[in-house]
Amino acid sequence: MAIQPLPLLLLLVTISSHLASSIATNAHYLEAACSVTQHRALCMHSLASFSHSAAWKQKDPCWWAQAAVAVTLAEAKHVGLYLAKMKRGGRMRGGRAALADCIEGFGDAKEELHSSLGELRRLEKRTFEYQMSNVETWLSAALTNQDTCLDGFGRYKGKEVEEVKAKVLNATYFTSNALALVNNLASSGGFS
Ligand SMILES: *[C@@H]1O[C@H](CO)[C@@H](O)[C@H](O)[C@H]1NC(C)=O
């Protein structure tokens, strides 16, 4: 039976074209979500792992808001640990007080991001607007804490200071993106 391999081939072609189109569709959801952010490349890169889920999840602006806040929280923790390590290492000469302030500011930002994520996970139709205004307030406060950290290094120079500032600036980009995705969720009205 020489014709037997044909159905298998057709099946494989069908499966692979289906996979290719679902991957393309998923990338489309991610791209659409990130289009409201100011740092799109970072958005696409940092949320890529959330683009492999079911389409119904990715159509929900709440999915992307939660994802963005979760990766921002992880980044804030990461930078907080890095700052603490920098302080312990004692390599920074000028800007030591600024570094101590930053560690405190990142501690606060971590709590604000944590509260935001908790709120986004228990959204209810009845209290949606109130909850979203809480999240927007906390995220704005987290962004302010991170910006204040950057400003604190004002006139200080040096390799360590530049390294810290680059990491903190990157963390502000994560937070700014999360705020954009949260604002997008708020204006979508949530439970439509
Ligand atoms: C920003 O942070 C992410 C995650 O830690 C990292 O992959 C990326 O390289 C950083 N970008 C810059 C410009 O430091």
- Residue spans of the domains in the chain: they are 5-188
Q: 135-189, pLDDT tens digit by residue?
A: 999 999 999 999 999 999 988 989 999 999 999 999 999 999 999 999 999 999 8
Ligand 1 atom closest to residue 78's alpha carbon, by position in its atom list:
5
Query: Backbone dihedral region of 88: left (phi > 0), alpha (psi from -120 to 50 degrees) or beta?
Result: alpha
Ligand 1 lined by 75 (C-beta under 6 Å): yes
Of 6, 176, 174, nearest in space to 75 by CA:
174
Q: How far apart are CA 145 and CA 34, in angstroms?
A: 24
Atom from ligand 1 closest to the CA of residue 45:
7
Residue 80: its H or E element: helix 61-89
Architecture of 5-188 per CATH?
Up-down Bundle (1.20)
Between the CA of 166 and the centroid of ligand 1 the distance, in Å, is 9
- Quick: pLDDT tens for 48-97: 999 999 999 999 999 999 999 999 999 999 999 999 999 999 888 888 89
- Per the CB < 8 A criterion, the answer to whether 146 and 81 are in contact is no
Q: Looking up tokens 């057709």, which residue turns up?
A: 10
Q: Is 170 in the pocket of ligand 1 (CB under 6 A)?
A: yes
Burial group, residue 122, by CB count within 10 angstroms (0-12, 13-18, 19+): exposed
